[in-house]
Amino acid sequence: MRRREFVTLLAGATAWPFIARGQQPERMRRIGVLVGLAENDPEMKARLAGLRQGLEKFGWFEGGNMRIDYRFAPAGAHAQSLARELVALQPDLILAQSTPAALAAQAETRTIPIAFASPTRLVQASSRACRARAATPPAFCNTRRASRANGWRC
């Protein structure tokens, strides 16, 4: 009888690490937001609240399954250094709110996806960069508007 108890205990002890590893929780996603307005700007507060609400509709909750790191560069001031900070945090996505912010983020990384708002001026600025080095187009472009306006694609 003791032999059976010992074998059962031994089998349980060897299987425990595999049972404990079972289903791992999904890792927390990280979004870097680079904004071209001041942190206390009422318009920006409303936009960021809208961003959070939109993400929540799709099941993404700040502090739950994702983290949002905000950096504010009013009028593009220090956008490059703030973009470098965000890239160092290794987010899964960078959201840029203004043209200077998007261009600063693009200059800092080619591996992290960059989403942006207000693409009109960015497309114009990116078109020059895209034509200058056709082999390495920008990581972000509004291709529909850009292809109609300038005859180029990124």
pLDDT at 1: 55
**Do the Cβ atoms of 109 and 94 come closer than 8 Å?**
yes
> What local confidence, expressed as pLDDT, does residue 94 receive?
94
Per-residue pLDDT of the chain (154 residues; tens, 9 = 90+): 566 666 666 566 565 555 555 556 678 999 999 998 888 999 889 989 999 999 999 999 998 899 999 999 887 788 999 999 999 999 999 999 888 888 899 999 989 999 887 655 555 555 555 544 444 444 544 444 444 444 334 4
Domains and CATH numbers, the chain: 29-117 (3.40.50.2300), 119-154 (no CATH)
Terminal Cα-to-Cα distance of the chain (whole angstroms): 74
Q: The pTM is what?
A: 0.64
HEC profile for 48-111? HHHHHHHHHHCCCCECCCEEEEEEECHHHCCHHHHHHHHHHCCCCEEEECCHHHHHHHHHHCCC
